[in-house]
Structure 1
């Protein structure tokens, strides 16, 4: 029985008996029937509970490639997935129990599940370099290659089972048939990062050599673009845009060196009408951060390179950062549209990905030099608990 079907059965079970258990999930037993109120609640465990133990064993010898998490994505506080080289695991009870969803040839790079049944991923065949777009209609148990040839996408995001966007630094593409066909969306010259929240509404980071960055927006699918933000910088490189409702965040990169990266993070709570310079991180190896003027803080998460950012609700945003030289991965957040910023606790590692489901609950997949671990937090990153770990 696949992951999505099990979640459906779990929902029916919850409605009928009010219990957070489902047949075969971490217990191997029969479906749980209605019990007396004195029955204790199921224990929420940490660790892998033996899941993928044999597969992990096969990947710990000489000449083998250790299992590592590449991405994590949660649809809500209970339901989520994590994937890596040749595997996909999932939970429907907030990480108390995980189940194996997929083992096979696909080495996952990035996941995009618009719902619990339909999913998409960028993946390579085993440890190959070429990336393909693959899709699933059964929650991740089986996958089908959607692109005949390798794709140049660095990131994909699907809004539903049919419509989605594919991005690389210079170009943006749109699909309306579940990833089978793609059309290029017009973006300004020298675009180096874009994001579309719908086919018509989009944002682009544009570099002006020798001058700096411009952030522009479109409301007509790329036919016309409007300047929203200027950030002076002698050597602009690339940026990233995140948008949800009226919230917009522009992440503009400076230089990198000695395991450090300089960058600025701007936020807007009124669709680009005005901006706050939230983070401006200068570094000895990377030089000054793009832009000038007042800033809320001068150090981002882990004081290192910024990773992915996620918008929650109407006012909150979380971002992961990592400093490989110090083996630190951490998160930072704002809950007031960038008027204040807090950097949270760090864990050991050199790279991480986050997925937050509300203002406090989130997940983080971290790679270290001798392990790969899936962490969870219930206090916005102040504390992280290891839930599942592969040791090399």
Structure 2
């Protein structure tokens, strides 16, 4: 779940987001102002009673129960979470949630660069084909961008017009809100890419039998230069995460027995130099890919790597989950990867994170009997339950 790295800064931006949320979700501004005392004293947690009819209908028909597939917040207070046929949102930090959407779309990824314009990768009901859809009213209504399915694995919109679409081997760029796309040239054997602008980007490249290469471009893919060379006999794939000077390369090894071997490399100078942060070997996945000494031999939850979130100039968070161990956790750094800490785990099978700052973040977790949303105000050290679809065997 490419989860987005959009950060609202300043009180003006936060106020704008909250007001836009009220408009987009059909919440009357005057009524919101009329009951400030109740909002301050009554803060619901757990099951907020939303989508009860849809839950009942799905249970009666034998369909999969409601479950979160993505979560994205624009600030600590304002954000959305979506899943199979629904989207909900909050503008007060999870004290209250509103139903934004209920319908045919099963959301795989949502991406809102602001509180009005949004895009998503979604399928119709339980079909396999994935479509790019868009909204201009905060998520209440959606329009399919093309009549045919797309091959994107993830999307990343930087504003209401410019965005990127990624598959394992290709990168596409749009400057008209997703109506048209152009292919950005990437090196042969690319197995994951990340662009921070139309000109600047990184790619994970597999050299068969020789290992990984992290390549970078500053001219829109016309030319590429070597950033990191990492030996590994059996390369699989990788992900790059970039924000300003911060760049992280997450290199995947083998998988087996609900385990995945992986390495995490960090750069604090746009890829000019790298340090190995995590190198996790597993019995089921074999040795961790790459070379060089690592700070840690296990990642968060001692399990599989999930999505990353980068915040500010030096903070980064990695989600980890262990299906066999039934736990999820977050690892973090506040100094560009020089010191990495794996934080305490909570119960769950898998999930993903959305951080809006160095302390504030949200996590969607799928557990044995619930699909839940948690928030943190201390950088992932502790988590508080905010919403749960309970009584659902996953």
TM-score under structure 2 length normalisation? 0.91
The residue correspondences of 1:244-259 to structure 2 (distance < 5 A) are 244-259=243-258
Q: How far apart in 2 are the matches of 1:106 and 1:191?
A: 31
How far off is 1:259 after superposition?
Answer: 1.0
The residue correspondences of 1:167-246 to structure 2 (distance < 5 A) are 167-246=166-245
When residues 178 and 101 of structure 1 are mapped into structure 2, their CA distance, relative to the original with a 3 A threshold, is same
Does residue 1:32 correspond to 2:33, yes or no? yes
How far off is 1:177 after superposition?
Answer: 1.1
Root-mean-square deviation over aligned CA pairs: 2.2
Q: How far apart in 2 are the matches of 1:134 and 1:236?
A: 33
Q: How far apart in 1 are the matches of 2:359 and 2:164?
A: 28
Q: How far apart in 1 are the matches of 2:129 and 2:39?
A: 50
When residues 114 and 338 of structure 1 are mapped into structure 2, their CA distance, relative to the original with a 3 A threshold, is same
Q: How far apart in 1 are the matches of 2:48 and 2:116?
A: 25
Q: How far apart in 1 are the matches of 2:284 and 2:258?
A: 7
How far off is 1:205 after superposition?
Answer: 0.3
When residues 286 and 39 of structure 1 are mapped into structure 2, their CA distance, relative to the original with a 3 A threshold, is closer
Partner of 1:18: none
Partner of 2:284: 285
Q: How far apart in 2 are the matches of 1:354 and 1:176?
A: 27
Higher relative contact order (CA 8 A, sep 6+): 2
Q: How far apart in 1 are the matches of 2:312 and 2:270?
A: 15
Moved more, 58-67 or 256-265: 58-67
How far off is 1:59 after superposition?
Answer: 2.3
Partner of 2:374: 375
The residue correspondences of 1:41-52 to structure 2 (distance < 5 A) are 41-52=40-51
TM-score under structure 1 length normalisation? 0.91
Moved more, 350-359 or 47-56: 47-56
Moved more, 50-59 or 128-137: 50-59
SS in 1 for 2:50: coil
Q: How far apart in 2 are the matches of 1:386 and 1:139?
A: 24
Partner of 1:59: 58
Moved more, 303-312 or 288-297: 288-297
How far off is 1:81 after superposition?
Answer: 0.2
Partner of 2:318: 319
Q: How far apart in 2 are the matches of 1:81 and 1:259?
A: 29
Q: How far apart in 1 are the matches of 2:176 and 2:147?
A: 15
How many correspondences in the alignment? 374
Q: Deviations over 1:209-233 (max 9, x none)?
A: 1110000000000000010101100
Q: How far apart in 2 are the matches of 1:320 and 1:201?
A: 26
Partner of 2:383: 384
How far off is 1:62 after superposition?
Answer: 5.5
Does residue 1:158 correspond to 2:157, yes or no? yes
The residue correspondences of 1:291-310 to structure 2 (distance < 5 A) are 291-310=290-309
Q: Is the 8 A contact 1:48 1:98 kept in 2?
A: no
Point out 4+ residue stretches in structure 1 off by more than 6 angstroms: none
When residues 242 and 31 of structure 1 are mapped into structure 2, their CA distance, relative to the original with a 3 A threshold, is closer
SS in 1 for 2:324: helix
Q: Unaligned stretches of 5+ in structure 1? A: 1-6, 15-21
Q: Is the 8 A contact 1:194 1:241 kept in 2?
A: yes
When residues 218 and 10 of structure 1 are mapped into structure 2, their CA distance, relative to the original with a 3 A threshold, is closer
Q: Unaligned stretches of 5+ in structure 2? A: 1-14
Partner of 2:330: 331
The residue correspondences of 1:70-149 to structure 2 (distance < 5 A) are 70-149=69-148
Moved more, 56-65 or 360-369: 56-65
How far off is 1:69 after superposition?
Answer: 0.1
Q: Is the 8 A contact 2:258 2:284 kept in 1?
A: yes
How far off is 1:13 after superposition?
Answer: 12
